[in-house]
Chain A
Amino acid sequence: MSLTKESKNTLSWSNTVELIDNLRVDEVGLKERVASLATRSIKKDSKLQALNYIVTMCDLTTLEGEDTEGKIGQMAAKAIRPDPSNSEVPSVAAVCVYPALVAKAKEMTRNSNVKVASVSSYFPSGQAPLESKIFDTQFAIDQGADEIDIVINRKAFFEGDYRKMYDEIVALKEVCKSVHLKTILEVGELKTYENIKKASLISLAAGSDFIKTSTGKISNGSSREACYLMAKAVWDYKMVTGFKAGIKVAGGIRDSKDAIRYLVIVNEELGPEWLSPDYFRFGASSLVDDVLKQIKKLKTNAYQSSYYFPRG
């Protein structure tokens, strides 16, 4: 592509078209590579390092109709001190809540490094007019959200109206200004690898700071294959624009072993400079508990019961 190599986090529509034109992914080769990365054997010190990375990269999440200020209070306290019995365990990256609960989350985390992320844009379906999505997003920002997780317009995507999908993200990015924008692709709905890579590139070109796998509201939320493809998209986008985007994987990542495999993908496909909460996140509710158990296990050589760790 004939673009200057300056760091740029948006592309014009015509440049975006060029980027997604003739996009090709080979399913067999992709699966083989991902399977081969899963055979990395991460032990001892490198495992501890990975577990600590995972904690600092976690967006502790609750996105339920039944969420209350009381629930957010519990989760925020856990986000700040995931393991009160071990002061070496760091805080998580953020708590992720619905817009109506941002203010409470903000209040609970005010004396910490923990950020508050809010989903918006008619999460999880995105089936609403743009005006409503803008209002939803503006409300979350007014409540104090540091980060905004939006969903792409899958209706527009599947109808072939990529321009509409792009324009909506551009519009929401304008609302966000410097607030960190994560764009959820919902890879389990996009299904094909071409779709995932295409949606990744459009989202990046429209100004997303992060691309994210899933809302966590469908059964096949995240996959290592999707993460790999998104890493490839992030790399391609960096080659064209110089902009370094991040990835958030969310949806069904429950144990440390699985999370470490995601870290390996990012480490080997993008590089160690992506191993930071600025560029890689896990969206999860129960993952942290397993990570804490594993950290304890490495220190004491014994697995402890769940009741030794605080609920969030």
Chain B
Amino acid sequence: MKTWDYAESIESSAIVNIEKKYGIFLDGEFQTANSKKFLKTISPSTEEVLSSITVGNKNDIDSAVDSAKNGLKIWSKLTGTERAKYLFKLARLIQERSREFAVLESLDGGKPIKESRDFDLPQVAANFFYFAGWADKLDISWNTKGLKPYGIVGQIIPWNFPLLMLSWKVAPALATGNVVILKPAESTPLTALLFAELCQEVGLPPGVFNLVTGDGTTGAALVQHPDISKIAFTGSTAVGKYIQNETAGRDIGLTLELGGKAANIVYNDAAIDQAVEGVVNGIFFNQGHVCCAGSRLVLQEDIHDEFVSKLEKRMQSLRVGNPLDKNTDIGAINSKEQLDKISFLVNEGVSEGGTIFQTECELPANGFWFRPTLFTNAQPSYKIAREEIFGPVLTTLTFRTPEEAIDIANNTEYGLSAGIWTEKGSKILWTADRLQAGVIWANTFNKFDPSSPFGGYKESGFGREGGRHGLLSYLKVQS
């Protein structure tokens, strides 16, 4: 059979300028850290070393706090309108340089350029625009004048949406009058470093945005620092629990956005072809490195065979490969460590008795890759149905009645998101009402908007990011 192969269509990486080595960003400028320890950040699609980044230590966090204290002195004297000016400038500059950011994000993190270009960067700019708009309207946000910023906020962000998570954290914190010390993930620090350059370019007052790169030890030093008034963390539930323990008993605010094992419930009266698309998008978007990924397909038993047949056919058309190729649907797994974790859990799924289907695509020789994977004949007790895999792996569970669908969907320690697929409006409402999840999508999945609050139930965390509710994560209410 003759096939029509799409020729490579590579987004040029000539646009990005990556330094050999990066320091930390304090007092409005890049500085050499106290720590002499560096780690290499690599491109997960080629394993090529991109740069060396500083592993900030306790002294560096102390310096960052000093810088932030000076920043706060300036920032707290500005009106909301004045703060907004900086945020609007940042938003516009992000838009102007979005191609550069998108390429850098795909290089450093492995996500397909079509996602960093068409999803991440537009969302990043939208977040800055949105929260810039709130900066001078805080009094009317909750109809009280008694809203006070925390002060110095420590923010720790993950590697799945590096710049997007930065925008979710930094934009509302600055809009509400806080100053920030940001610790990006160790495998994806480059876009945050470029963002620091933007802060210089817009003339953000020194010390308002501080950046200390590093690993878990850096994050721990940040969490332990007594002068931090608030920690905002997005990442694994295990680290979230550590942070909650560490901050217990202290006068400190905390919001946690943690793991998930979302159910994507497909009823037999759904628009099947679009539900297949939504399920594919729900789990294979960003290689499944999505805390709200629809990793459990909760499927009505009487449409199981038809649905799975269509799903497998659709999965075969997913193009796995070079993240910078504009036709790539699924990029590289973010790190060797994550790849090992995914492989381990998938092997467990097979040995527990699940039926595995993987697409036949060719994988590149270097870098970290995993084939889109579907499990059928899986049971709610299997590891692949309970643990967050954080990779392109979908587990199918079946149900007979709507009540059973709810039971299965809620039978998890997580509660971040869920999806409902039916053409019947009343069934959407009935189902949504009973799901224990912070974000529920109906007949769509992975839709985001800066105005919509995002956050979890149960072990998926607490606090909300985005929307008017997201402001409260960075404000203390006085009445």
Contact = CB atoms under 8 A, between A and B. Distances in A.
Interface of A: 22, 24-26, 28-30, 32-33, 39-47, 49-50, 53, 232, 235, 239, 263, 267-269, 272-273, 275
Given A26-B271, A45-B7, 4 more contacts: A29-B273, A29-B275, A43-B7, A272-B1
Given A239-B309, A263-B4, A24 B269 contact: yes
16 contacts: A24-B270, A26-B271, A26-B274, A26-B275, A29-B271, A39-B114, A39-B326, A40-B326, A40-B327, A41-B9, A41-B326, A41-B327, A44-B7, A46-B4, A46-B7, A268-B317
A86 B309 CA distance: 44
A268 B271 CA distance: 19
A41 B9 CA distance: 6
A232 B273 contact: yes
Interface of B: 1-7, 9, 114, 118, 269-275, 277-278, 306, 309, 313, 317, 326-327, 423, 443-444
A268 B314 CA distance: 8
Given A25-B271, A25-B274, A28-B443, A275 B2 contact: yes
A273 to B, nearest CB: 6
A272 B2 contact: yes
Contacts of A232: 273
Contacts of A22: 269
The 6 closest A-B pairs by CB, nearest first: A29-B274, A41-B9, A26-B274, A26-B271, A24-B271, A41-B326
Given A22-B269, A39-B114, A39-B326, A33 B274 contact: yes
Contacts of B275: 26, 29
A147 to B, nearest CB: 23
A275 B274 CA distance: 24
A267 B7 CA distance: 14
Nearest to A275: B4
B423 A50 contact: no
Contacts of B277: 29, 32-33
Nearest to B5: A46
A212 B103 CA distance: 41
Contact of B443 (A29, A33, A50): A29
The CB with the most chain A CB atoms within 10 A, among B4, B5, B7, is that of B4
Contacts of B273: 25, 29-30, 232
B5 to A, nearest CB: 6
B6 A272 contact: no
B6 A40 contact: yes
B9 A43 contact: yes
Contacts of B3: 272
A272 B2 CA distance: 7
A32 B271 CA distance: 14
B274 A46 contact: no
Given A46-B7, A275-B2, A28 B327 contact: no
A44 B274 CA distance: 32
Contacts of A50: 4
B278 A29 contact: yes
Given A29-B443, A272-B2, A272-B4, A24 B272 contact: yes
Contacts of B327: 40-41
A42 B118 contact: no
Nearest to B326: A41
A53 B423 CA distance: 38
A26 B423 contact: yes
A47 B118 CA distance: 23
A260 to B, nearest CB: 10
A25 to B, nearest CB: 5
A277 B326 CA distance: 28
A85 B334 CA distance: 52
A29 B278 CA distance: 7
Contacts of B1: 272-273
A7 to B, nearest CB: 18
A169 B6 CA distance: 38
Nearest to A266: B4
Nearest to A272: B3
A263 B5 CA distance: 12
A32 B281 CA distance: 11
B419 to A, nearest CB: 12
A103 B144 CA distance: 84
A239 B443 CA distance: 24
B43 to A, nearest CB: 21
Contacts of A42: 6-7, 9
B269 A47 contact: no
Contacts of A30: 273-274
Contact of B6 (A28, A46, A53, A239): A46
A47 B56 CA distance: 49
Contacts of B270: 24
Contacts of A43: 7, 9
Contacts of A46: 4-7
A226 B472 CA distance: 46
B443 A49 contact: no
A227 to B, nearest CB: 14
A25 B2 CA distance: 32
Nearest to B6: A46
Contacts of B269: 22, 24
Nearest to B11: A41
B115 to A, nearest CB: 11
Contacts of B118: 39
A50 B309 CA distance: 28
B426 to A, nearest CB: 15
Contacts of B326: 39-41
A47 B7 contact: yes
Nearest to B443: A26
A46 B319 CA distance: 15
A235 B316 CA distance: 15
A25 B444 CA distance: 13
Nearest to B423: A24
A132 B9 CA distance: 53
A43 B8 CA distance: 8
Contacts of A28: 274, 443-444
The CB with the most chain B CB atoms within 10 A, among A49, A50, A263, is that of A49
Nearest to A23: B271
Contact of B444 (A29, A44, A235): A29
Nearest to A29: B274
